[in-house]
A and B are shown apart, each in its own frame.
Chain A
Amino acid sequence: MSDIRQLYQRIIVDHANHPHHYGELQSANFTKTYRNPDCGDTITVFATIVDDEIVDISFTGNGCIISQASASMLTDLLIGQTIDVADDTIRNFQYLIMGQPVNDSELGDSVAFSTLSEFPTRVRCGALAWHTMAAILNDWRAGNG
């Protein structure tokens, strides 16, 4: 197992303690809540999507450092992206936390989760916000298919 300090490195703890884009988004036209039944961690993602651009994202929720930090990083990465780029980033992040080789140049702060796969009981925490966002993109596709 990797050193525990790799999992709880400063940047992850900082994101969890001071999350970016936390709160409800008034302009949101997409909202989704996911809950991890194992631990009760809950994330609600709000997104404003205009044409195929994600204009704004915010989140609310509570849970562990991993789930909250990961949600905060997601908002930083995906605001202002097109749906296609967001799809790609989400896929890359999922590869990253499963320990698979990945082009991490587009993953920003979230590369800090590169050792998460070595803590298998926590991978779901890291993935929660990203699954929620992926579901929002599916909803968008369903409405624009």
Chain B
Amino acid sequence: MTKYDQLAYLDNAATTPMPDSVLQVIDNYYQTQKVNVHRGMYRLANEVTQQYEHVRQQVAQFINAPNASDIVFTSGATDALNLVAFGYGTTHLHADDEIIISVMEHHANLVPWQQVAAMTGSKLRVVDITPDGQIDMVALQKLLNKHTKIVSLTLVSNVLGTYTDMKPIAEAAHKVGAVLMVDAAQAVAQMAIDVQAMGTDFLAFSGHKMFGPTGIGVLYGRTDLLADMTPTRFGGEMIDQVTQQTATFQPAPLKFEAGTPNIAGVLGLGAAIDYILQIGYPKISQIDHELVDYLMKGLSQITAVTIYGSPLATAHRAVVSFNVGKVHAHDVATILDAAGVAVRAGHHCAEPLMTFLGTESVVRVSVSFENKLSEIDQLLTGIQQVKELLHE
């Protein structure tokens, strides 16, 4: 397991540590198996290709996708969201069409849509959240109309920790003829994901937020939608036949995977899935909840602390954001760092949400089941020190 030297690591929403099993798979690939996939005639190349494609099946099972070919390997959730924005959005959106996102989206689920809206003449609609950090379902219903073509929402907010039940949203979106894209980057380490039960058309997540390596992510797409999508990157491996002037492409998912993929990343992702399933989501969410409950009880006893989103611990999936009086989040984080506690502070790639919350920045604590209650204690002691130093 990744060891953070003398540091209570409470920034798991940024990236999680990696267990030995993941580190070993990556190390083994680079030490003894470093061959390319999908092209070698020798046995080792075939073996690694099979391992690579096995992970695709593993991912499909992991999120209950109907087919392994519905799984596209990307460099991360940002890359997957961009692939849908530019591979689907640019060809399916026209002037007067509408895209709906929420005010609590990460910039990765906002900026690509801004770009695509500008390119296609479509409009970006932003649904607000309620004071306790939930998508405003009444407002969402009002925004949905026959012009709505894409609804793209986060499953768990990276700032508020809010979980959104996507099933009714998928139904409402489908009713007006729109597709639903779900950003599961923050959710995937906390809860089992079932794309069919959810009824989503697309779903994105990253490996490095679920105990896997950086540089690998997944796009799930409904079979017919992936078939209907245009590749956004071109080159080797994604083609069917090439002449001097023309090229035809492989079917999905390979048509989206131009060039040598992140093979070690894919293998590491497979090991990360094994790791999560071995521990089991019930245990993971139970520990996450105990940590969040303890954290929120502790925070609520410190005067001057404002918690954003719901006051209920159960509404925060491993993520709690707060401020200490009027102290800037970066000052809080620097003092906590000196106390040996790593947290994130800033706008968390969610500037519209900061504006909505009426602040410029927040301090974010994000736990994983690897954390200990003593690390939360260390954080709470650090916050007392913030108050003492800065007279809040």
Contact = CB atoms under 8 A, between A and B. Distances in A.
Contacts of B338: 1, 3-4
A5 B335 CA distance: 9
A4 B334 contact: yes
A13 B390 contact: yes
> Interface size for chain B: under 10, 10 to 19, 20 to 34, or 35 or more residues?
20 to 34
Interface stretch (A21-29, A62-70, A84-92, A134-142): A62-70
Contacts of A40: 346-347, 351, 354, 360-361
Given A8-B389, A8-B390, A13-B391, A65 B327 contact: yes
A64 B389 contact: no
Contact of A122 (B327, B329, B330): B330
Contact of B331 (A1, A3, A8): A8
B54 interface: no
25 contacts: A1-B338, A4-B334, A4-B335, A4-B339, A7-B334, A13-B390, A13-B391, A38-B346, A39-B330, A39-B345, A39-B347, A39-B361, A40-B351, A40-B354, A40-B360, A41-B360, A63-B360, A64-B328, A65-B328, A65-B390, A66-B330, A119-B334, A121-B334, A122-B330, A125-B330
B331 A64 contact: yes
Contact of B334 (A3, A41, A62, A122): A122
Contacts of B331: 8, 64-66
A126 B153 CA distance: 37
B96 to A, nearest CB: 33
Contacts of B335: 4, 8
Interface residues of A, number: 20
Contacts of B390: 8, 13, 65
Given A40-B354, A63-B328, 6 more contacts: A3-B338, A5-B389, A13-B391, A40-B347, A63-B360, A64-B328
Interface in B284-331: 327-331
Interface in A88-145: 119, 121-122, 125
A39 B347 CA distance: 7
Chain B facing A: main interface SS = helix
Contacts of A4: 334-335, 338-339, 385, 389
Interface in A1-33: 1, 3-5, 7-8, 13
A121 B329 CA distance: 13
Interface in B250-309: none
Interface string B337-361: 0110000011100010010000011
Of B329, B330, B338, B354, most buried by chain A (CB within 10 Å of CB) is: B330
A9 to B, nearest CB: 9
Interface string B107-121: 000000000000000
Given A4-B389, A13-B390, A13-B391, A39 B346 contact: yes
B189 to A, nearest CB: 25
A14 B361 CA distance: 21
A124 to B, nearest CB: 10
Closest 10 pairs (CB-CB, A-B): A4-B338, A64-B328, A64-B330, A8-B389, A65-B331, A64-B331, A40-B360, A39-B346, A40-B347, A39-B330
Nearest to A5: B389
A62 B331 CA distance: 13
A24 B17 CA distance: 47
A65 to B, nearest CB: 5
A8 B390 CA distance: 7
Contacts of A65: 327-328, 331, 390
B326 to A, nearest CB: 9
B106 to A, nearest CB: 16
A1 B387 CA distance: 21
Contacts of B361: 39-40
Nearest to B391: A13
A138 B129 CA distance: 45
B115 to A, nearest CB: 18
Nearest to A8: B389
A116 B27 CA distance: 39
A7 B328 CA distance: 14
A1 B337 CA distance: 10
Contacts of A13: 389-391
Contacts of B334: 4, 7, 119, 121-122
A38 to B, nearest CB: 7
Contacts of A125: 330
A41 B346 CA distance: 10
A52 B347 CA distance: 40
Contacts of A5: 389
Of A4, A38, A41, most buried by chain B (CB within 10 Å of CB) is: A4
A48 to B, nearest CB: 29
